[in-house]
Every structure is written in C-alpha cells, then in structure tokens.
Chain A
Amino acid sequence: MPFELTEQTLAEIDRLIPRYPQKRSALMMILHAIQKEKGYLSLESQEWVAEKLELTPIQVREVVTFYPFYREHPIGKRLIRVCRTLSCALNGSYQICDHFKKEFDVELNAVSSDGRVTIEFAECLASCGTAPVAMVDDDLFENLDESKVKALCAEIRAATPATPVEREALAMEEPKQKN
C-alpha cells in the first residue's frame, strides 16, 4: 500500500514548511504531524518526509532515532508517561508507575494485551511542584496517588475500546533508551 496522509495532515505540512527560512527546519514539526496521525513513524513515512524536504532518508532517520518522543513502531492507543525524575521520585512516582502497570497488567515500554495503553517513564515534566505527575497523551495529571491512578485508569478504559493484541506483536522492539 502506498504511503498516504490525510488531507488535513498534508495541509498542516504545507503550512509548516514556509514558516522557516530553511525547509529542513520544518522536519521536527512535520514528524510530529505524521506521528500524530499514524501513531508512529514508519520507514515509508520517513522516506516520504525526506523527499518532501529534499533530504536523504538518513537525515530524517537520524533525527527520528535521536529524540525519545519519536517512535518507529506502533504503541498502545493511549500513551501514559510517568515522571521518574527526582522531585516526583521523592514523592513516590516509582510506586505510582507500579499502580499504572498493575491496572493494565503490562510492563514498561510494552503494549497492554487489551491494546489500550503503553506505559513509559518520562524525565522531569516541568511540574515538580505538583509531584508526582504523569501525562496521558497530551494531558497532565498532578498530585497523583493510588486512588487517583485507579480513577484515571477507569476513565481511560471507558474512553478507549479494547483491541486485543496478538502475542507476537507484543514482543516490542528494543525500546529506544540508550541504557
């Protein structure tokens, strides 16, 4: 199947490029737009972007593989990112993360078997005054505790239909973390 984007994403991309004095600068914003639509950045999508910006495919891929937020493989429908950095850790964020994992019966950086979520650790989310915090997709949740996590997970389940994932697909590629 050829690589295709929606009209809306294409229009967004055409709006982004002229914002910069040099086309290449639009790369990160274009990757954001495509990842938003597709959920991840396939090699085909990267080649498409390379052509669009007159770059070599590796000039795109070196960017995709450098930044933790870009991903080359699909994840769960919702992305839960729990801050693990100091102010949150001092306020119990590792335990908070365990509660999330238990709710969806999933390990870090994997897709839950109902296909609903992927849980990751994030580094300081710039909300340390309301630690511990986590993001669910674009939204920030502050001052978390066990009961708030439970309520939030119930909301996620209610809003996100389950699509059981094949076992093989669950064996995720190496997470991007370097260590």
Chain B
Amino acid sequence: MISTPKRTAVHPLERRIILKHADDPTYDASIACYERHGGYAELRKAIGELTPEAICQEVMDSQVRGRGGAGFPAGMKWKFLDRKSGKPIYLICNADESEPGTFKDRQIIHKDPHQLIEGMMISAFAVQARQAFIYIREEMPHGAQILESAIEEARARGFVGENILGSGYSCDLVVHRGAAAYICGEETGLIESLEGKRAYPRIKPPYFPAALGLYMCPTVVNNVETLCNVKHIVAMGGKAYAEIGRPGNTGTRIWCLSGMVRNPGYYELENGRHTYGDLIHKMGGGLLEGRYLQAVIPGGSSAKVWRAGERFTGKLKNGEAFDWGIEDVPLDFDGPMAAGSMSGSGAVIVIDNTVDIVEVLANINAFYAHESCGQCTPCREGSLWMKKITTRMANGGARKEDADLLASIGDQIAGRTICAHGEACAWPTQSFVAKFRDKFEAKAEADPEALRTRAFRMV
C-alpha cells in the first residue's frame, strides 16, 4: 500500500503550474494518467525538435532560479558545466528535502512523479548527461518506490534508458536513497554520499560540481521543483515563462506554510504577486483564536528570523524605496532578501506569542547540532555549544551573559567553514539573539522552577 499525502483544496489566489494536477481527485501517479493529461509531449518536443543548446538557451531566457535554497539561476548553472574536459556529465536531482519546514518536493514525488521524470530527461538531454540520479531522503520510502515504478513505466515507453524515443541519445535514471542525514541535502555532501562515502561536503573552490562533481566529473545538481519547471519552460518557451512573476523572480513557487497557523499547507503562487501577509492571513487563515504573531521564519529554519512588528526599509534594485512590515514583504526571492533574510527553500514557519522564543531557538539548535557532519571545528563545536546553552536557558539555567556568549559563538562560525551548514547553524542564533535580546536577557530573571517543570516542551 502506498500512502499519498492528503489532497488539499486549491486556494483561489494560487496559480498552479507544477502542482496543477496534484490535488485533482481523479489524477493518479500512473503514466497512463500522465499521458492522458498531455504528459511527455515536452520530452518529445525537446528530443524531436530542439537541440540541446536551444533548450539550454530557453532555460537561460526563462531566468528560472533554483528552488532548493540558494536561488541560483539554473540556466547559468548549466552554462558553467565544464564541457571541454571530455568527461561524462551527470545530472542529479536533489530530493533530500530536509530543510526544516519544507514539504513541497514530497507532493510532487507522491502525486505527480512523471512530471519530475520528464523534467529530468529534458534536462539530461539539454546538458547531454551520461546518466541521471534522484537522491531521495530515506524517510520517503514510499516516494522512492513510486519513483522506481514510474521510471520503469517510462523506460518501457522509451522515455528513459537506451536510445530515447529513437533519437540515439541514451540516459539511465537511477533512484538512490539517503539514510537520514540532513547534510546530504548540501550538493557536495550529496555527491560524496552518492559515491558511497560519508556525506562530508567538499570545499569550493575547487570542487564546484559543474567541474569536479560526481566521480570528479562535471555534474548538475538541481532541486525537484527546479527540474519540474524545465518541462514548463520547454512548453511555453523561456521568454514566455519569464513573463510569469516579476523580473529576476520568474515563475511560480510552492510555499510551505507551517507552525502556528490555522491552515498550514503548501500554496503555489506566482512570484512577487503576493506577500507574507497574504500567505499567513489569507491563505493560512491567520493565527489561532486569541493569539498574536511573535515571529516568522521566512525560508526554512536556517533563514534569519523576523520579529513581529519590525520594519524593513531600504532601496530595491530598481531604486524604488521601500518600507515594509513582515506582512508587506513580497513572496519571491528578492523580497525576503531585501528584508535581511531569505526565501531559502520556501518554508515559512509561523510562531505565535504563546511559546518561549528562547526554547524555539533551542529546538532549532538541537537540529543543527545533530546534523553537523563534524568536519569543521567551528560548525561541529559551535552548533553543539549553541544547543547546550539555549537548552540550559530554556530549562531554567539562564545566565545574564548568555546572550553575548551566543552571539559571539554565532559570529565565529559563519564564513569559517567548508559548507553553508556553518551559516545555516549560525544564522538562527545570530538573528534570534539580535532581534529578541530583551527576551534572552530576561531569561536569567525567570523562575527556574517554573521553567524546569513546564508542561509544554520543545527540547
């Protein structure tokens, strides 16, 4: 039996492209259903009518940015591939989906696996990959099975494997399962893991996947949602795709809303047309009865936190001045960036006034301390200290100097590590302490007994 994540109603403000069929009760994961809805037409078009260079150009023109976290333009990433080396090129789909708060790739994999396979085979053809892989986290065993069966169906129809659609181009697609380590989401850690080793991220430079990736060969690593977009770029044409959203923030994005809201869930929205306020209040139904907003984490737990009531001011790239509250920040890549944080993996976590913000940070810190791969001293030791200090604070052992101590540890990690896990673990502590310093300092005055014996715990 394969469990499907629950289907949810489509909100009228959504613009569904990637999740167009995901919540249609008559839609299923079979290739017959996919083809009935026009599936694999774009792969036929790509292989039958377009050259690899032309597809790469369409992706470039689309300005589509990576949906996995960093928001790097996919067309540019593909262009950086070292094609002169003569080594085989590999394509990897990052389906590790492990940034806390993120649950969008799960919907695609479970409900519309062929869309991912089609997006991947078009991408593989475009970069002329020798072989393609889907690295899926261990905690999605049914997802892995669904993909395996879907790939077999696609292989039988000539979309995957030898001599695809009679074109002479061959590319196999292999599902590889992780084993519950977050760091496998980091692309070079993922590559090491796929090589059968510990997921120790590699240092860049020199190990940019575009030149020295899997087996030291040029490699493209893209997120599930990014690769699905390629199908729609081929369908519409890159320039037409770029009309969706706003310049530099093209297409739609699947936002994952969770935490303390009435209607948590995933919402696919045209970039730049809506705000965090719309997501939390209109789509998310706002906060629970009688509660008010304390904080928002705008892009996965490593994104810098926003405190309710703070204002963001500055100038946009086009010179226009802005003065936003949290509710006004545009939902896209550049909006949260202008407001001092990031859209990251599209995971928005809402925190209301009823929880202890210090304990929220302690919970986040426990995650990063558990997930550090241990290669770099600042990340390995720092993440553990930050966890220990915030846990002690939440449990009634806070000291006056803790806020300064935490800030100084955070400041000594970011920028001093092999991979961005250093930033990912430092940013929460740095931003929580900076924005909620009063609450961190007040902790030393709190009644230790009451904290020790509290009923609701998050660490």
A interface, CB within 8 angstroms of B: 19-22, 24-29, 31-32, 53, 55, 59, 62-63, 66-70, 81, 84-87, 89-92, 94-95, 122-131, 135, 138-140, 142, 177-179
Contacts and interface: CB of A to CB of B under 8 A. Distances in A.
Contact of B100 (A20, A81, A87): A87
Contact of B196 (A25, A127, A130, A142): A25
Given A25-B194, A66-B373, A138-B142, 9 more contacts: A69-B180, A86-B259, A87-B101, A90-B260, A122-B180, A127-B106, A128-B258, A128-B349, A129-B258
A45 B363 CA distance: 36
B1 to A, nearest CB: 8
A22 B138 CA distance: 21
Contacts of A179: 369-370, 384, 387
A90 B355 contact: yes
B41 interface: no
A139 B2 CA distance: 9
Contact of B301 (A27, A32, A86): A86
Given A20-B174, A139-B3, A127 B180 contact: no
The 8 tightest CB contacts between A and B, nearest first, are A67-B179, A27-B196, A128-B258, A24-B196, A69-B180, A87-B258, A89-B458, A69-B179
28 contacts: A21-B130, A24-B197, A25-B176, A28-B178, A29-B177, A32-B177, A32-B179, A62-B198, A63-B198, A66-B373, A68-B179, A69-B180, A85-B100, A86-B100, A86-B301, A90-B259, A123-B370, A126-B105, A127-B5, A127-B103, A128-B103, A128-B349, A129-B256, A131-B264, A135-B139, A140-B3, A142-B5, A177-B370
B455 to A, nearest CB: 8
Interface in B62-95: 88
B100 A67 contact: no
B131 A21 contact: yes
Nearest to A67: B179
B418 interface: no
A31 B174 CA distance: 17
A145 to B, nearest CB: 14
A165 B373 CA distance: 34
B141 interface: yes
Nearest to B107: A129
Nearest to A120: B180
Sorting the interface of chain B by its residue count into under 10, 10 to 19, 20 to 34 or 35 or more gives: 35 or more
Interface string B373-384: 110000000001
Contacts of B99: 124
Contacts of A89: 363, 458
B366 interface: yes
Contact of A85 (B179, B260, B301, B373): B301
Contact of A21 (B101, B177, B215, B301): B215
- Give the residue among A32, A94, A123 with the most B Cβ atoms within 10 A: A123
Contacts of A91: 259-260
B374 A178 contact: yes
Interface string B161-174: 00000000000101
A114 B360 CA distance: 35
Contacts of B180: 67-69, 122-123
Given A86-B101, A131-B258, A67 B181 contact: yes
A129 B257 contact: yes
Contacts of A24: 195-197
A68 B176 contact: no
Nearest to B267: A129
A64 to B, nearest CB: 9
Contact of A126 (B140, B181, B457, B458): B140
Interface in B431-459: 456-459
A95 B456 contact: yes
Contacts of B324: none
A90 B349 CA distance: 10
A70 B176 CA distance: 15
Given A67-B180, A138-B141, A123 B258 contact: no
A142 to B, nearest CB: 7
Contacts of B373: 66
B34 interface: no
B103 to A, nearest CB: 5
A33 to B, nearest CB: 10
A91 B141 CA distance: 24
B179 A178 contact: no
Contact of A67 (B102, B172, B178, B349): B178
A122 B370 CA distance: 10
A22 B215 contact: yes
Nearest to A125: B139
